[in-house]
A and B are shown apart, each in its own frame.
Chain A
């Protein structure tokens, strides 16, 4: 019952509660601790506490991945703005294969594609993703599968 996942969930909830509260008297903080414990207890009782809730093996490489993703998002934002202002869009629809093994990895990959402007994941079936891209260059970026490699690297952890 008490394992690394439940402790991580408790610490997240407590940290978030302390950030949102702003009042640090003994009474109010202890009420917060009790409510966080109750939430963790209910999560364990309802069997929600699995790898999808707390993908704990992502954490060691998460910061490096986030920095890389923000850089990618910034670059493709500028490209999308150029495409919109210069009226040079030529949309295309295609399929790519994902190499992630777990559901969490696939969700991360699909969300990263959608979060990058210029590419949207439209459908997923097993490990085939259907992607809509705003121009051919965006499509080539996804087909070049740099992001796929990064997410697989993130998924392996440690």
Chain B
């Protein structure tokens, strides 16, 4: 019974991860400019990756692999904002003008 419920929760989190990755990919193509597309990529990095890793943790059972998967998740959480920030920063420095409103004084 416990086995079955763990399997069901694992499958639900896999489906959630697939949903977020698919939505993020749609956003990556559909959104208008580079700054907006970073938001979609950030969604794949956070929700997509962590739901998939959660599903894998439930599948693996409690062992050393669980700890390794948790560390993969932590490293993704530490590195993904860096890539997002570097992309946005470089686009700003190269003079890409963002679509939409600009409020107040910007740097």
Contact = CB atoms under 8 A, between A and B. Distances in A.
Same complex origin of A and B? yes
Interface of A: 16, 19-20, 22, 73-74, 77, 80-81, 84-85, 87, 89-95, 110-112, 114-123, 125, 128, 130, 132, 134, 139
Contact of A91 (B46, B64, B98): B98
A89 B35 contact: no
Contacts of A90: 100-101
Of the four ranges (under 10, 10 to 19, 20 to 34, 35 or more), the interface on chain B belongs to 35 or more
Given A16-B71, A81-B43, A84-B24, 18 more contacts: A19-B68, A73-B46, A84-B27, A84-B31, A84-B43, A91-B99, A93-B101, A93-B103, A95-B105, A95-B106, A115-B80, A115-B81, A116-B42, A117-B40, A120-B35, A120-B39, A123-B89, A134-B39
Interface in B36-76: 36, 38-40, 42-43, 46-47, 64, 67-68, 71
A92 B42 contact: no
Contacts of A117: 39-40, 42-43, 46-47
Contacts, number: 121
Given A19-B71, A117-B39, A73 B47 contact: yes
A148 B58 CA distance: 34
A123 B42 contact: no
12 contacts: A73-B47, A77-B20, A80-B27, A81-B20, A84-B40, A90-B101, A94-B106, A112-B81, A117-B43, A122-B89, A134-B39, A139-B103
B37 to A, nearest CB: 10
Contacts of B105: 95
Contacts of B95: none
B106 A111 contact: no
